[in-house]
Amino acid sequence: MKYTEARQQLIRTWGQLSTHWGISRTMGQIHALLMVSPDPMTSDQIIEELKISRGNVSMSLRSLVEWGIVHKTFIPGERKEYFASEKDVWKMALQIARERKRRELDPVIQSMQHLQAINPDSASAREVDELNKMTTQILDVAMQVDKMLDIGIRSGGQTFVRKLISVLR
């Protein structure tokens, strides 16, 4: 496969994959372009390369910076903003895990903890028990996933994942 085809395929594939971890396809494509680019890029270069609107590029870059997987960089003598991606895939995966934990898992844990203090009002004891049982189980699963993510994040990810895989074999 030629370089240009392989590059385009990676950008398309990463764009599709990114929708499964909480960002848009366009954000994923911009991220992939920055990952494979040896040098930081301006928004104009990204627009030209991916043929997407300035507004979409601007919003996507802002979000990627918020996710912590793309950062602004300045080149001496240049007035334009340049953007670059984290190049270490393990660091990037850990940052995505951190951000997903913060955006998705932490709110579930907070919500389930809040639901632990139910005022039964007009509900029957059986209904309250069933709701308590389910919220407790959901909270337990969420807390176990949270602990596992914390261990993985603290360990640097790569070591944790390799140990986990060896245990699962």
pLDDT, residue 149, reads 83
Cα torsion 67, 138, 169, 16: sign: negative
The pLDDT of residue 88: 87
Q: State both tokens at 118.
A: 């139910």
What's the confidence (pLDDT) of residue 165? 62
Closest CA to 69 of 49, 55, 54, 87: 87
Question: 99 and 67 in contact (C-beta within 8 Å)?
Answer: yes
* Extended strands (E) in 51-167: 70-73, 82-85
Rounded to whole angstroms, the Cα distance separating 139 from 136 reads 5
Low-confidence ranges of the chain (pLDDT < 70): 157-169
Summarised one tens digit per residue, pLDDT across range 82-110 is 999 999 888 888 888 888 899 999 999 99
> What pLDDT is stored for residue 166 in this prediction?
67
- Supply the pLDDT for residue 167: 64
For residue 74, what is the DSSP state? -
Q: How many CA atoms lie within 13 A of 129 on its CB side?
A: 3
73 close to 82: Cβ distance less than 8 angstroms: yes
Task: Record the pTM.
Answer: 0.79
